[in-house]
A and B are shown apart, each in its own frame.
Chain A
């Protein structure tokens, strides 16, 4: 497919602007370009076809099943988009006077209240643009808290080795030293290893619960207590909140700060630039350190305030605001019962698929899962040479986006499947049939799977070449 630059025809365009009816001010020469920017010149029709063709070469939740583990690729209800497109939300400016933007501020205020209720937190910021940005912000809150108390020796963040890779990366970015503790075979925290790791230098612990293999850590209260007793704080990575929202709350599990992924759990678009939104909620003890401004209500009017000991801004203005509008639309559509039911159905769908595939595929953990489960293709690979990657490519030929591959690292040849609650039994049954058929193909005709995908716009990609020699810019 041609790039836009390659389709460009000199002189073609689609900007139909009226003649300028005000004097054009002269700009200082130092601010002017030496030559015109090298932009593609296309008609509106050309552009529309270009993007439609691109869309035709992708696979999204709107195309079909997308069980990408740990990413919660749920359906994005259209009412969210309708609400976010209301002119009261789109035709406003972040710098206009507060009294003229009360509706938008009410959205931030109400969403904060709803998400604090769901997570068991006391206050929230919407500035972080996505999950890892939220992690970074949450860790800065922990850092500011210890520093404010003059407790400067707390420089270490404990992260289990089953954690998402962003956890140690965010902790390092925030200036902490990462202490990695080995998980138990089931991905849960090893209490003895945790006890041995905590001390006067512990700033905090980062944890996902349910954990990264889809199991709920039953020792969670003891885990958070061990960290609190040592003087540290507990950080909840909200990546897997979809399994428990409306059922159990990080705040009640002993967590002090959480980030959420509105683009996962709260049905706003995910992937392709989303954009995302990674609000950070915290207990009252961390609220004075939140990024500013936050919305407060005073005598029926909303105001922006910057908390006393604020760590400062982590993004311009109020974060990805219209994403928050979409999340609020979702929360209000679902209601308290719907939120809980979504979590329950997410867990039910995952267990249904796991049970149906379990007799054939090898489950890494053969017990009831939460919202996702992990299979190990290692036995199949040993027997037939067909790897998790080959099965993933075979799924593409069947119109299914592959599960997360080769993660978590503690399971060899891992495929991590998260169906989400928005898939029907019919869709799950079709996907199960495809998985089982591919298993048969692996045994009878492995070459077909080695050569897959056969029916996608591009065949198997050169991953080594892409990693070693990425082409990141267009040579004009």
Chain B
């Protein structure tokens, strides 16, 4: 299973990348994109929206279903990856490159899993 060591993960299959300025990038894990199948639409939040950890942050639609994406940590949206709106397949092709949302004022990083723990959780499903 592909889960880079340098990232953190939520049980709900989002990855989190810590940036130097204290903000984070959030995307969908390789397992998430594989389970969802070919993505056809991405609905992103607005810049300025605030979320608590586990809030529904946005949604993605695949050929199978529409699924919610949960905020893995708390924070405020400082940027969204608008290129995904026209090319949601980027998430399937490069799940760890295709970030969805950038959050600032981040809280709750300590509750996330490292790659090994995330792989273990996926193994139990």
Query: Which of A405, A406, A468 lies at the interface centre, i.e. has the most chain B CB atoms within 10 A of its CB?
Result: A468
Contact A464 B35 (CB under 8 A): no
Residues from chain B with Cβ under 8 Å of A468 in the complex = 40-41
Contact B35 A463 (CB under 8 A): no
Task: Please report the C-alpha to C-alpha distance between residue A426 and residue B37 in the assembled complex, in whole angstroms.
Answer: 36
| CB of B57, distance to nearest CB on chain A (Å) | 16
Residues from chain B with Cβ under 8 Å of A95 in the complex = none
Contact A463 B38 (CB under 8 A): yes
Contact A409 B65 (CB under 8 A): yes
Given A412-B35, A468-B40, verify A463-B63 contact (CB < 8 Å): yes
Contact B89 A464 (CB under 8 A): yes
1/0 per residue, CB under 8 A from B, across A215-238: the answer is: 000000000000000000000000
For A468, the closest partner residue in chain B by CB is B40
Residues from chain B with Cβ under 8 Å of A407 in the complex = 65
Residues from chain A with Cβ under 8 Å of B63 in the complex = 463-464, 467
For A405, the closest partner residue in chain B by CB is B64
Report A347-394 residues with CB < 8 Å from chain B CB. 389
Contact A467 B65 (CB under 8 A): no
| CB of A414, distance to nearest CB on chain B (Å) | 9
Query: Which of B63, B67, B89 lies at the interface centre, i.e. has the most chain A CB atoms within 10 A of its CB?
Result: B63
Report A422-476 residues with CB < 8 Å from chain B CB. 463-464, 467-468
User: Does any Cβ of A come within 8 Å of B114's Cβ?
Assistant: no
Residues from chain A with Cβ under 8 Å of B61 in the complex = 467
Residues from chain B with Cβ under 8 Å of A409 in the complex = 65, 67
Contact A406 B89 (CB under 8 A): no
Residues from chain A with Cβ under 8 Å of B64 in the complex = 405-406
| CB of A179, distance to nearest CB on chain B (Å) | 13
Query: Which of A405, A406, A407, A464 lies at the interface centre, i.e. has the most chain B CB atoms within 10 A of its CB?
Result: A464
Contact B40 A464 (CB under 8 A): yes
Residues from chain B with Cβ under 8 Å of A389 in the complex = 37
1/0 per residue, CB under 8 A from A, across B55-67: the answer is: 0000001011101
| CB of B68, distance to nearest CB on chain A (Å) | 10
| CB of A392, distance to nearest CB on chain B (Å) | 12
Q: List the count of A-B residue pairs having beta carbons below 8 Å apart.
A: 22
Contact B41 A467 (CB under 8 A): yes
Residues from chain B with Cβ under 8 Å of A406 in the complex = 37, 64-65
Task: Please report the C-alpha to C-alpha distance between residue A222 and residue B109 in the assembled complex, in whole angstroms.
Answer: 40
Residues from chain B with Cβ under 8 Å of A464 in the complex = 38, 40, 63, 89
Residues from chain A with Cβ under 8 Å of B65 in the complex = 406-407, 409
1/0 per residue, CB under 8 A from B, across A395-426: the answer is: 00000000001110100100000000000000
Task: Please report the C-alpha to C-alpha distance between residue A199 and residue B63 in the assembled complex, in whole angstroms.
Answer: 37
1/0 per residue, CB under 8 A from A, across B61-99: the answer is: 101110100000000000000000000010000000000
Task: Please report the C-alpha to C-alpha distance between residue A389 and residue B64 in the assembled complex, in whole angstroms.
Answer: 10
| CB of B66, distance to nearest CB on chain A (Å) | 8
Task: Please report the C-alpha to C-alpha distance between residue A464 and residue B90 in the assembled complex, in whole angstroms.
Answer: 13
Task: Please report the C-alpha to C-alpha distance between residue A464 and residue B63 in the assembled complex, in whole angstroms.
Answer: 7
Report B20-37 residues with CB < 8 Å from chain A CB. 35, 37
| CB of B123, distance to nearest CB on chain A (Å) | 12
Query: Which of B37, B38, B64 lies at the interface centre, i.e. has the most chain A CB atoms within 10 A of its CB?
Result: B64
Task: Please report the C-alpha to C-alpha distance between residue A277 and residue B40 in the assembled complex, in whole angstroms.
Answer: 32
Task: Please report the C-alpha to C-alpha distance between residue A467 and residue B62 in the assembled complex, in whole angstroms.
Answer: 9
Task: Please report the C-alpha to C-alpha distance between residue A409 and residue B37 in the assembled complex, in whole angstroms.
Answer: 13
Task: Please report the C-alpha to C-alpha distance between residue A464 and residue B65 in the assembled complex, in whole angstroms.
Answer: 12
Residues from chain A with Cβ under 8 Å of B35 in the complex = 412
| CB of A464, distance to nearest CB on chain B (Å) | 5
Task: Please report the C-alpha to C-alpha distance between residue A349 and residue B89 in the assembled complex, in whole angstroms.
Answer: 41
For A464, the closest partner residue in chain B by CB is B38
Task: Please report the C-alpha to C-alpha distance between residue A406 and residue B65 in the assembled complex, in whole angstroms.
Answer: 8
| CB of A216, distance to nearest CB on chain B (Å) | 25
Task: Please report the C-alpha to C-alpha distance between residue A463 and residue B40 in the assembled complex, in whole angstroms.
Answer: 9
Task: Please report the C-alpha to C-alpha distance between residue A452 and residue B118 in the assembled complex, in whole angstroms.
Answer: 35
Residues from chain A with Cβ under 8 Å of B40 in the complex = 463-464, 467-468
Task: Please report the C-alpha to C-alpha distance between residue A468 and residue B61 in the assembled complex, in whole angstroms.
Answer: 10
Residues from chain A with Cβ under 8 Å of B67 in the complex = 409
For B63, the closest partner residue in chain A by CB is A463
Task: Please report the C-alpha to C-alpha distance between residue A463 and residue B64 in the assembled complex, in whole angstroms.
Answer: 10
For A465, the closest partner residue in chain B by CB is B40
Residues from chain A with Cβ under 8 Å of B89 in the complex = 464
Task: Please report the C-alpha to C-alpha distance between residue A108 and residue B38 in the assembled complex, in whole angstroms.
Answer: 47
Residues from chain B with Cβ under 8 Å of A412 in the complex = 35
| CB of A113, distance to nearest CB on chain B (Å) | 40
Task: Please report the C-alpha to C-alpha distance between residue A409 and residue B68 in the assembled complex, in whole angstroms.
Answer: 12
Query: Which of B61, B65, B67 lies at the interface centre, i.e. has the most chain A CB atoms within 10 A of its CB?
Result: B65
Could you list which residues of chain B lie within 8 angstroms of chain A, going by C-beta atoms?
Answer: 35, 37-38, 40-41, 61, 63-65, 67, 89
In order of increasing CB-CB distance, the 9 nearest A-B pairs are A467-B40, A406-B64, A463-B63, A464-B38, A468-B40, A464-B40, A409-B65, A406-B65, A464-B63
Known: A409-B65, A409-B67, A467-B61. 11 other contacts (CB 8 A): A389-B37, A405-B64, A406-B37, A406-B65, A407-B65, A463-B38, A464-B38, A464-B40, A467-B40, A467-B41, A467-B63
9 A-B pairs with CB atoms under 8 Å apart are A389-B37, A406-B37, A406-B64, A463-B40, A463-B63, A464-B38, A467-B41, A467-B61, A468-B40
